[in-house]
Amino acid sequence: MAFLVREFDPNKDCKAVEDVERRCEVGPAGKMSLFTNLLGDPICRIRHSPPYLMLVAEMEVEGERKIVGMVRGCIKTISCGRRSSNDDGEDDSTKIMTSIYAKVASILGLRVCPSHRRIGIGLALVKKMETWFIHNGAEYSYIATTNDNQASLNLFLLKCNYSKFRTPSMLVRPVYAHRVKIPDRVAIFKLDHLEAESLYRARFSATEFFPHDIDRILGNKLNLGTYVAMPTGSWPSSGRFLANPPKSWAVLSIWNCKESFTLEVKGASRTLQWITKATRTADRLLPFLGIPSVPRLFEPFGFHFLYGLGGEGPEAGRLMEALCAHAHNMAKEMGCAVVATEVASHEPLRLAIPHWKRLSCEEDVWCVKRLAEGHGDGPAGDWTCSQPGFSIFVDPREV
């Protein structure tokens, strides 16, 4: 069956792309799955990460040309580790560690209509996207999928020569009908964009996947702010956090995905839907009990994404828990159903992040491929062979 891969045309393809998106579940077929509503903006997941490209696959179906698949991709400069400022054998005490950046491409939202799978459409879309990546100087390409999405893993690992690279966890917490109590003796402050940028560049720039254009993320209209938590009374007298940070602190930023797209869970039994409705009713009528209710996930819902999580000191875990409670309460006020974040499997603060195991994905799979064999190994060597660090920086623009 012949098909054509071409660039997305926003003037005529929006409706058809939305239709394909509505028919493609995210998750294993036959189980509860997520479906996406793009709110009329098919490039919402890449438009904030220039340069970007969206491709569609088109073929003749019942006598007319129809879109049966699509893929999105973007290119950015991110951290892939760090190196010493002097590698000449001098005393280690004189060495300064600096970040190593690489031009990395990301493949997002690969979709093929269920009725047109297994005829090479997905492979053709990926290959055409990789050609664009290479033409624009990308050194690596990566894709995120779930560990039970065998079709996606087979495509990228077996047919496209990607390799498993990192296995972070997607942690999801429902937004209850009641507010969550913030722990005692914790003060939470909102940083302005310049303070937040300075903090992230100073403390996180060597973290894998840290975006070089962090200023664009923090200044984006979808960013709801960067918040720091510390023990009450420990805000530095100078008023400058970086100049004299307290012994313990934690930080996170909040991204409003609700304004870009909504999700919907399908495939749930009537019994499960009735149970979740009962929890909401009880929580609404008896908020003082703090019942952990399940929001309306079986109709379109929005969510907030937490990113840039980190902290230091003996109380960092308790302070992170306070920030997550603050983020939950913000999401409740803005009508979101869940709060989500993604962290490395060995992230030190992972245990302090409240989440529901049933809604979360304990092992996401990030696959990577080296594109620029001819560019040499560079100071970082081959990044695909590097060992994982304790943390990763998840770009909210690609959620």
User: What is the C-alpha to C-alpha distance for residues 130 and 120, in angstroms, rounded to an integer?
Assistant: 15
**Model's pTM, two decimal places?**
0.92
What percent of the chain clears pLDDT 70, i.e. is strictly above it?
Answer: 91
Q: How confident is the model at residue 91 (pLDDT cuts 50, 70, 90)?
A: low
Degrees to nearest 5, angle at CA 167 with 318 and 367: 145
Q: What is the pLDDT of residues 209-262, one digit of tens each?
A: 999 999 999 999 999 999 999 999 877 665 677 778 899 999 999 999 999 999
Q: What is the pLDDT of residues 37-72, one digit of tens each?
A: 889 999 998 999 889 999 999 998 888 899 999 999
Contact 262, 302 (CB under 8 A): yes
CB neighbours of residue 285 within 10 Å = 10
Most confident of 15-29, 78-92, 262-276: 262-276
Contact 392, 208 (CB under 8 A): yes
Which domains does the chain carry?
1-167+363-399 (3.40.630.30), 168-362 (3.40.630)
CB neighbours of residue 298 within 10 Å = 17
What would the two tokens of residue 30 be?
């036959």
Least Cα distance to 305 among 395, 189, 194, 179 occurs for: 395
Q: How confident is the model at residue 95 (pLDDT cuts 50, 70, 90)?
A: low
Q: How confident is the model at residue 130 (pLDDT cuts 50, 70, 90)?
A: very high
Beta-strand runs (E) in the chain: 4-7, 33-37, 52-61, 64-84, 97-112, 140-146, 163-166, 169-174, 186-191, 223-231, 249-256, 262-266, 303-312, 338-343, 364-370
What would the two tokens of residue 241 be?
């956090």
